[in-house]
């Protein structure tokens, strides 16, 4: 508020100074022209001559000179505004690459920096929107096409019982995948629309993590994965259902990418009022290029799609942690597994 008041004062002083300069220039130019006219006999300003014609003539000159000076000088302070107006029209037409560079005064420099930052954000949002639509369409289209194709084959009635059962299993699996994708997208949209976290309760975070591991037992037992669990008893005040999604996603990813017979290390510590959770797998790891995009929607590091997933789990995790004022980091190297660390306030 104080900053805005300071800006208004500076603009007022700048306007006042500009008007003052115009008045001074008009006075000097008018006086010089009147003196020049008197010396050449164009005006009668001798003692005893009538004053009204002189005042009228000098007034006309002052008005003409003042208007002329104002016309030419008004372009200087309005030039940055005209530049800004043109840039705004470009943005409204959909051109988010436009940039402005105003250097003087200081307020205009700050204005141009804010404008350029805004256009960069808009360009990023537009690119994200386009990518989201393309990826969303692709992720939905693939199972639908698969279901349609196998349904047509089943309708032909030229298959034996074994083939029919196989195609029905595929249809069921693709339908499940489609249903899961729809639920995840809706869940992510709901979480992203939240601005204020509600329904916070105090509960045992360590107990919630043990429950999440047990819920995934069917998956990790099939791969004969062991868990190395080292957790302190930590109490936390948070939205339990939302945080449960965080642990389920991170642990599910660790199980998914760990090799058969591997080991997943899970730790939980209390550190200066924060709960610090880590999960370490023995998977293939990630290079720097993959790590850079893993929290983007629909991004999948496994381009071959050999692994299940739709690229929405980690964006959901990140958003839920942002609502809790927490953060997530990842350390990973190709061939050396990944370590995800979540830091979240306990209170």
Q: Which carries the bigger pLDDT value, residue 193 or residue 321? A: 321
Listed residues 193, 218, 241: the one ending a domain: 193
Claim to verify: residue 227 and residue 188 sit in the same structural domain: no
Claim to verify: residue 79 and residue 183 sit in the same structural domain: no
Claim to verify: residue 49 and residue 81 sit in the same structural domain: yes
Claim to verify: residue 169 and residue 70 sit in the same structural domain: no
Claim to verify: residue 278 and residue 210 sit in the same structural domain: yes
Rounded CA separation 293/311 (Å): 10
Listed residues 193, 224, 246: the one ending a domain: 193
Claim to verify: residue 11 and residue 82 sit in the same structural domain: yes
Residue-level pLDDT at 86 = 82
Claim to verify: residue 220 and residue 260 sit in the same structural domain: yes
Residue-level pLDDT at 297 = 62
Task: Report the range of poorest mean pLDDT among 37-41, 86-90, 152-156, 270-274.
Answer: 37-41
Residue-level pLDDT at 74 = 57
3-state secondary structure of 202: strand
Rounded CA separation 189/179 (Å): 15
Burial, 277: exposed, middle or buried (Cβ in 10 Å; 0-12, 13-18, 19+)?
Answer: buried
Claim to verify: residue 265 and residue 212 sit in the same structural domain: yes
Claim to verify: residue 112 and residue 162 sit in the same structural domain: no
Q: Is 282's pLDDT higher than 70?
A: yes
Task: Report the range of poorest mean pLDDT among 160-164, 291-295, 296-300.
Answer: 296-300
Q: Which tokens sit at 46? A: 């001798």
pLDDT, tens digit, 9 for 90 and up, residues 41-95: 665 555 555 545 555 556 666 666 666 666 665 555 556 777 777 888 887 777 7
The count of structural domains within the chain is 3
Claim to verify: residue 106 and residue 222 sit in the same structural domain: no
CATH number of the domain bearing residue 161: 1.10.287.130
Claim to verify: residue 117 and residue 25 sit in the same structural domain: yes
3-state secondary structure of 107: helix
Q: What is the DSSP string of 219-274?
A: HHHHTT-EEEEEE---EEEE-HHHHHHHHHHHHHHHHHHSPTT-EEEEEEEEETTE
The parent domain of residue 93 ranges over 2-121
Residue-level pLDDT at 343 = 93
Listed residues 86, 121, 156: the one ending a domain: 121
Claim to verify: residue 175 and residue 217 sit in the same structural domain: no
Q: Which tokens sit at 114? A: 């804010």
């Amino acid at each position: 508020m104080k900053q805005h008041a300071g800006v208004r004062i500076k603009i007022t002083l700048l306007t006042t100074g500009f008007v003052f300069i115009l008045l001074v220039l008009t006075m000097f130019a008018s006086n010089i022209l009147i003196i020049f006219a008197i010396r050449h006999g164009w005006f009668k300003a001798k003692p005893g001559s009538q004053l009204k014609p002189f005042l009228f003539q000098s007034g006309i000159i002052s008005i003409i000179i003042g208007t002329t000076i104002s016309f030419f000088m008004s372009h200087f302070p309005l030039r940055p505004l005209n530049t800004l107006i043109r840039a705004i029209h470009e943005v409204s037409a959909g051109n988010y690459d436009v940039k402005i560079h105003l250097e003087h005064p200081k307020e205009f420099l700050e204005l141009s920096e804010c404008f350029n930052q805004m256009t960069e954000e808009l360009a990023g949002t537009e690119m994200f929107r386009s990518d989201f639509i393309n990826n969303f369409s692709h992720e939905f289209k693939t199972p639908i096409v698969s279901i349609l194709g196998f349904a047509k084959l089943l309708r032909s009635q030229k298959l034996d019982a074994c083939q029919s059962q196989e195609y029905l299993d595929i249809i069921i699996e693709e339908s499940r995948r489609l249903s899961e994708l729809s639920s995840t997208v809706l869940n992510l949209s709901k979480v992203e629309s939240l601005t204020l976290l509600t329904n916070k309760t105090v509960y045992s975070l360590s107990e919630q993590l043990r429950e999440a591991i047990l819920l995934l037992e069917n998956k990790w037992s099939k791969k004969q994965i062991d868990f190395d669990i080292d957790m302190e008893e930590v109490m936390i005040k948070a939205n339990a259902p939302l945080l449960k999604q965080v642990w389920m996603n991170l642990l599910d990813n660790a199980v998914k990418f760990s090799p058969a017979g591997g080991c997943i290390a899970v730790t939980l510590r209390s550190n200066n009022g924060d709960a610090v959770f880590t999960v370490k797998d023995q998977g293939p790891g990630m290079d720097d290029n993959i790590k850079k995009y893993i929290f983007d929607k629909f991004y999948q590091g496994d381009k071959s799609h050999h692994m299940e997933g739709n690229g929405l789990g980690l964006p959901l995790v990140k958003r839920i942690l942002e609502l809790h004022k927490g953060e997530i980091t990842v350390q990973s190297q190709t061939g050396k597994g990944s370590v995800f660390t979540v830091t979240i306030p306990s209170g």
